[in-house]
Amino acid sequence: MINDTTKANQTLATESAKLKCHHRPGFHIAAPAGWINDPNGLCFHNGLYHAFYQHHPYSSDWGPMHWGHVTSKDMVHWEHQPVALAPGDEGTCFSGSAVTDGDTLALLYTGHSWLGEEGDDTKMKQIQCLATSEDGIHFEKQGIVIPDAPKADMVHFRDPKVWKEDGLWHMVVGMKDGDQGQIGYYQSDDLRHWNYKGVMAEAKEGIGYMWECPDFFALDDKRVLICSPMGMEADGYNNLNFHQNGYMVGDLDKELGRFTFDKFVELDFGHDFYACQTFDAEGGRKVAMAWMDMWHSEMPTKARGWCGALTLPRELKLDEEGKIWQTPVKELEDLRVEQFDTSALRKVDSQMLETGICGDLLEVKARFSLAGATAERFGFMLRVGDVPFERTLVDMTEWRSVHFLIERYREKR
């Protein structure tokens, strides 16, 4: 299989030089130009952290998928690398994962082809493929490793996540059987020849018709399955995204290859969090990153030549009740340069208190005391402009989640 990334890298060099950078993230991973969605291939390999991502280098719209690539020594300062994968005779390069195989960095990914008109999800072919690299930068495609889905009529079959355990390689794949989301389970001795073991888990009623971007791992003495179900209905303050991303905590029967769980829980109640993937960081930490955008949402930066970013890396921990807690990795504390103390702002039930803080890149740590307060709502405002009501409101009123409301969004020209 040919992996010619030359044109993509030349285009990025040209387009990034013309990029309009207003509202461009300063700490989050974003492509040099063009479109970005799912994080792929997150790993720590030969002393470097690697993050790949779904990428269309030729425009700020979704298009034929490539794999973009960045590396870092500390998960904070990321360096752009050449595009790792470009479409070939396997189709475009959909999501997947990366593993260390000796000194080799191996990418497992989905090859995607439209069999009818582009965008017709009922007529497509999805296969699982392998690419390898000896230097961690330049990749050679090794071909198709799983040519067919478990069922002949199954067209949604994608996003392999691979790990090594008990001397074997293991893979979970997102699938759709009829109107039910499923996780397929495979095993291999060599990353090239895979045996289908069966359906590891499947959606209970109300948990979606397609489970995208699965991730399966051990956390403490339990097993965790992360996936992105499509088609879940809103329930109060739950499931308010167009599509969801969350986790299930349970147990794995290794003999049967079956995962049993109690419930699905959202990982993040914000509206820009999808396709979360994890990797093992130094110190035995389980770290997660996700796509900081959402299908079908408004994406105003498209007009400026880029779209999408990845979340900051978060360390995951499991408490005694089976709840996942997330904390930004400690390395991010190195970004703190100047501290603003607002502890003197203690006025109660005021319409608004001004902090006097200005800046484009800030870390906000806030604590609110409701003792004696009668206010119906509380929170704080960011990006406050000169035009009335131009602001981003962080509404802390509902204790179950934080709601970000963009009121009268207007970019400065």
Residue 13 is inside which H or E element, if any? Answer: helix 6-17
Beta-bridged to residue 88, according to DSSP, are: 91
Residues 6+ apart with CB under 8 A from 249: 219, 222, 223, 224, 261, 262, 265, 318, 322, 324
Do the Cβ atoms of 261 and 201 come closer than 8 Å?
A: yes
Catalytic residue flag (residue 38): yes
Beta-bridged to residue 307, according to DSSP, are: 35
First to last CA, the chain: 45
- DSSP annotation string for 172-238: EEEEEETTEEEEEEEEESSSSSEEEEEEEEEPPTTS-SEEEEEEEEEETTEEEEEEEEESPPPBTTB
- Residue of 4, 38, 215, 334 marked catalytic: 38
Distance CA 259, CA 278 (A): 18
**Exposed / middle / buried, residue 204 (Cβ in 10 Å: 0-12, 13-18, 19+):** middle
Catalytic machinery residues: 38
